[in-house]
Amino acid sequence: MMTLYKRAGGLLSYTGTNDARAVEDEIKKGNREFELVFQALAYQVSKAIGSLATVVDGKVNRIVLTGGLAHSSYLADFIENSTEFIAPLIVVAGEHEMVALSNGIYRVLTGQEKINQFQLV
């Protein structure tokens, strides 16, 4: 189940690929099923952004879209159209999460930054 959840679900399970470029190519060829899947994905991301905006009382300066799927202008445009009333969207395409995490750990280990502890209220 974990493999299905983490590796074989989502875009891959509906389209047979997790390559957004291939999905976009199919959409351009008129593949309506792939278009609906991509729109559903964008809808879910937009919905998550909207729900997170509520926990900060709508005080959102920017929405940053990252990761490999952010390379898709089709996806980014859909998300931007759905969320632009919340805040401007910035697209930083690519998977930089591990670099950011390792840089953060380095700053803590070298004393440049303190560990933040967050508590759910």
Indicate whether 71 pLDDT > 70: yes
pLDDT at position 5: 66
pLDDT at position 92: 87
**Do 96 and 66 form a contact (C-beta atoms < 8 A)?**
yes
**Do 45 and 78 form a contact (C-beta atoms < 8 A)?**
no
pLDDT at position 107: 93
Residue 66: Cβ within 10 Å count: 15
Mean per-residue pLDDT of the chain: 89
Query: Which residue(s) pair with 65 in the sheet?
Result: 91
pLDDT tens digits along 76-99: 999 999 999 999 999 988 877 778
Reported in sequence order, the residue ranges of the chain that DSSP labels E, i.e. its strands, are: 63-67, 89-93
Indicate whether 50 pLDDT > 80: yes
Mean pLDDT computed over 55-69: 92
List, in order, residues 6 or more apart from 102 with CB less than 8 Å away.
none
pTM: 0.73
Instruction: Give the position of tokens 């009333």.
Output: 85
